[in-house]
Amino acid sequence: MKTGASRGEIDGVVDRARSLGLNVQLNLGTDKTVVALLGSNTGQLSTDIFAVLPGVEGVTRIMKPYKLASREFKAEDSLVSIDGIEIGAKRVVVMAGPCAVESEGQLMEVARAVKESGASILRGGAFKPRTSPFSFQGLQKVGLELLAKAKERLDMPVITEVVDPHDVNLVSSYADILQVGSRNMQNFALLTNIGRSNCPVVLKRGYSCTITEWLTAADYLLAEGNNQVILCERGIRTFEDSVRFSLDISSIPVIKRFSHLPVIVDPSHAAGHYSLVPAIARAAIAAGADGLLIEVHPNPKEALVDGLQSLTPSDFARLMEELRQIARCVGRYI
Ligand code: PEP
Ligand code: MN
C-alpha cells in the first residue's frame, strides 16, 4: 500500500481478496502496509485486479515457494520477544540445558549452572522424538511439571519440544517456547496446530531439508497468524561421517538474506561430540546467528540421552566467556 494508505483503503484490498477466495495477511510496517494475498490460484489472477484499487502502490508476485517468511513480504527483521528477552536483536540469546529432563535434581542443578553462566532460556526435553522406540522417550507430563518448577524457581523461560499435534495445548501451557524437532519440520498438522496456538516457536531445520523447504515450512506457522517464529540450524546430513551432522554455516547468511525471521544455531546436535561444540558455537555467532541452543548436563557420562555431545557446566561456563568475545567482535553482546 502507499505510504499513509487509509484503513478503509487497506480494507478495500482485503475485502476484494477475500471475495476471490484468497487468504490475507497484513504486515503493518511503521512506514508502509504490505498485504499478502495467498492462495493456490493466485497464479491465474491478474495483478491489475488489485493494482487499480485505491491506496495500492504496486502489486508484486513473490516468486519463491515461501511467501510470509520472505523479505519481499516483510523487509525489516522480525523480533521474537519472550518475557522481555528479544531474539533477533543485538543481544545473542543463549538457551541451554539438558537434552532430556531426567529428574528434579538433574534439572535444577543444570538450570542453576547455565543461568549463572549467562544463559537466559532453559532447554529440556520432556517428549523426546527418539530414532528407536526402545530408547528413553522422556518424562513427558512429569517432565513438563519439572520444567515449570525450574522456571518458577530460577525465573527463567523454558523451551521444550512438542512431538504430537494433539499435545500442542498441553505443552504450550507449560512452555514459553515450543520446539519443533528436526524430524518434525514437515509435520504439517503439528505446524498448523502450533500456528494456531500463538506460542513462540523454534523451528529446527529438517536434517535432509533445503533452506527453501525450511522457510516454506515456516509459512505453515505464519499462515495461521503465529509470527513468533525462530529458525534453528542444527546440521544436515551429508557424506561426512566424522560429525553427527554437518552444520550448514552458510544457512545463517542465506536466511538473513532471504527471510526476516531470526535464526539460532544448535551446535550440539550438529557436532555429536562435546569436544566439537565450542568451535561450532563460536563460528555460529561470528556468522550472524541470533542465538544458540546448547545441551548441558551435570554429569554427561550418566545422561539418558545425548551425553556424548553434552557440555559439563564448567565447559559451558568457559564457552560462554569465549562467546562473549566473539559477540563483541561482530557488534553484539550476550
Ligand atoms: C533436541 O533438541 O534434543 C533434538 C532432538 O534435536 P533435533 O530435533 O535437532 O534432532
Ligand atoms: Mn538432544
pLDDT band at 247 (very low <50, low <70, confident <90, very high): very high
For residue 90, is pLDDT > 90?
A: yes
Could you tell which of 137, 162, 266 is best to mutate to test the pocket of ligand 1, judged by most ligand atoms within 8 Å of the CB?
Answer: 266
Distance 44 CA to ligand 2 centre (A): 45
Q: Which tens digit of pLDDT belongs to each residue from 290-299?
A: 999 999 999 9
**Mean pLDDT, rounded, for 68-88:** 97
Angle at 143 between CA 175 and CA 231, to 5 degrees: 40
Distance 11 CA to ligand 2 centre (A): 46
Distance 131 CA to ligand 2 centre (A): 11
- Please give all residues whose beta carbon lies within 6 A of any atom in ligand 1, as ranges: 99, 125, 129, 181-183, 204, 234, 266, 269
Torsion of CA 57, 63, 69, 74, to 10 degrees: -20
Residue 131 grid cell: 530414532
> What does the alpha-carbon distance between residue 305 and residue 285 come to, in Å, rounded to a whole number?
26
pLDDT at 30: 81
The residue type found at 229 is V
Which three-class secondary structure state does DSSP give residue 197? helix
Residue 201 grid cell: 516457536
What is the DSSP track for 2-31? -TT--HHHHHHHHHHHHHTT-EEEEEE-SS
Distance 100 CA to ligand 2 centre (A): 7
pLDDT at 195: 98
Strands 121-123 and 93-97: parallel
In this structure, the residue with its CA closest to atom 8 of ligand 1 is 181
Cβ(15)–Cβ(55) below 8 Å: no
Which three-class secondary structure state does DSSP give residue 145? helix
Could you tell which of 127, 269, 296, 310 is best to mutate to test the pocket of ligand 1, judged by most ligand atoms within 8 Å of the CB?
Answer: 269
Q: Which tens digit of pLDDT belongs to each residue from 270-283?
A: 999 999 999 999 99
Could you tell which of 184, 207, 234 is best to mutate to test the pocket of ligand 1, judged by most ligand atoms within 8 Å of the CB?
Answer: 234
Which three-class secondary structure state does DSSP give residue 112? helix
**Mean pLDDT, rounded, for 124-141:** 95
Kindly give the interhelix angle for 313-329 and 104-117, rounded to the nearest 10 degrees. Answer: 30
pLDDT at 29: 81
